[in-house]
Amino acid sequence: MLYPVYVHKDADSAYGITFPDFPGCFSAADDMADLPRMAQEAVEVHFDGEDLPIPVPSAPEDWQDDERFQGGYWMLLDIDLSRISTRAVRVNISLSESLVARIDDHAKARHLSRSAFLALAAQHEMTQSQ
């Protein structure tokens, strides 16, 4: 489904993307070519483990007068909603204590929960092995 994404870039920074339809969901990429992949990943993480309804897409015109979205530009990005499950399933796994500590450190650095980080890592690994 095509969702509007607000793109902004300051000098010497990555391309930042914000999803007005998903408040609090954002991402960044150094290269424009990576924006679709980063957008999909951000939306999946945003909804991971949350029981939130997925809104229908708005139009960029709906946001044109919003002061939060000035000075950048709009893109429509295709978000695969079939990859988003808003129902969390509890799993029990065993990992070494040192690995859990490293996972927690990396998750914290990316402002993610342990579960979101592990889900993202698993999705990344599955995508890379295809």
Per-domain residue ranges of the chain: 1-89, 90-130
| DSSP conformation class of 102 | H
- What distance in Å separates the CA atoms of residue 127 and residue 130, rounded to the nearest whole number? 6
Whether pTM > 0.75 for this model: the answer is no
> Using CB atoms within 10 A of its CB, is residue 14 exposed (0-12), middle (13-18) or buried (19+)?
middle
The matching CATH number, chosen from 3.30.160.250, 3.40.190.10, 3.40.640.10, 3.30.465.10, for 1-89 is 3.30.160.250
Task: For 78-127, write each residue's pLDDT tens digit.
Answer: 999 878 865 667 889 999 999 999 999 998 998 788 988 898 888 778 76
Task: For 21-47, write each residue's pLDDT tens digit.
Answer: 999 999 999 999 999 999 999 999 998
Question: In 10 A of CB 61, how many CB atoms?
Answer: 9
pLDDT of res. 124: 78
As a three-state string, the secondary structure of 29-46 is ECCHHHHHHHHHHHHHHH
CA neighbor of 35 nearest in space, from 72, 86, 64 = 72
Fold topology of 90-130: Arc Repressor Mutant (1.10.1220)
